[in-house]
Amino acid sequence: MKNTRRVFALVLAALMLSCCAALAEGQPTTDRAGNEISLPDEVSKVVSLAPSTTRLILDMGLGDTLVAVDTYSAMYYEETADLLQYDMMTPDNEALALLEPDVIFVTGMSFAHGENPFQPLIDLGACVVVLPSSYSLDDIRQDIFFIADVMNAEDKGAAIVAEMNESIAEIAAIGESIEDKKTVLFEISALPYIYGPGDHTFLDEMIELIGAVNVLDGQDDWVFVSEEAALALNPDVILTSTDYIEDPVGEILSREGWEEVTAVANKAVYPISSQTSNQPNQHVIEALIDMAKAVYPEAYEALDEAA
């Protein structure tokens, strides 16, 4: 045990020296949460403890820098299945330190229990970079720019954001022309615990962009919706990203007492990928396109699938 602790201490000392190396020109000196960070000139060993960040790194063609990921990344992305895997909520700080990464990316999800599980690493100088939960499409854009800056891949980040902006502008132009707006309930979980996006969420923003009305408009953040309240909302369309039951659309259509809900009566219930709609990165555009085509199929019929 003493030898293990000694090795751990030596590795942490090396990690601290590495993270205090001179900054490369143009690299950020604070993370997205406002914490001061020190990055080495070259970032070649990365730990990503969030699927959204992992996906962006892969899409930038920098997957070879990843030395470890969170368990969800390994489950979602086969390119990372053989990498070391760690729980984003209860990380093994000793094992992470032994990897001697240049940077460890984490998100607000890791702080859900109200404390910082990475504090021992931070106290010893590890480069833990925090991206708080993204509440808007602009937050997602800024996250992409930031991660690209950290990875010395500014051009790749700019190209991804430019493609995002082009797709958003195309969808928004059609959305603004829609006069007969449908009401939408977006479920991220099923009965008995229906939750959906309210104000100050990127999904609420996306519902508005396609020219629809979020039935949870006026309520902040992620909203619990009782069955009674859901029935009273009577949405024209129900979208669901629930991924923990086999047939979420069938579950909604077969709910007892929901027969008179407009969306159910018209069978206007559609699945939206949880990976594209729940992970705050450039792939939310895929969810945006799917939402647009589900709610207004005729208006968005010619929308470019590759956007």
pLDDT one-digit tens code per residue, 186-212: 999 999 999 999 999 999 999 999 999
Higher pLDDT, 158 or 120: 158
Domain segments of the chain as ranges: 2-133, 179-295
Superfamily of domain 2-133: Nitrogenase molybdenum iron protein domain (3.40.50.1980)
Q: Does domain 179-295 have CATH number 3.40.190.10?
A: no
Q: Rounded to the nearest 5 degrees, what angle is found at the Cα of 49, between the Cα atoms of 12 and 13?
A: 5
Percent of the chain with pLDDT over 90: 79
249: left (phi over 0), alpha (psi -120 to 50) or beta: alpha
Mean pLDDT of all residues in 80-104: 93
The count of residues in the chain is: 307
Q: Which amino acid is at 73?
A: S
pLDDT value at position 13? 40
pLDDT in tens, 15-33: 444 444 333 446 789 999 9
Quick check: do 2-133 and 179-295 share a fold?
yes
- Mean pLDDT across 234-241: 98
Q: Kindly tell me the burial class for residue 304, based on how many C-beta atoms sit within 10 Å of its own C-beta (0-12, 13-18, 19 or more).
A: exposed
- Say how many C-beta atoms besides its own lie within 10 A of residue 249's C-beta: 15
Tell me the two tokens of residue 180. Answer: 């007969």
pLDDT at 26: 60
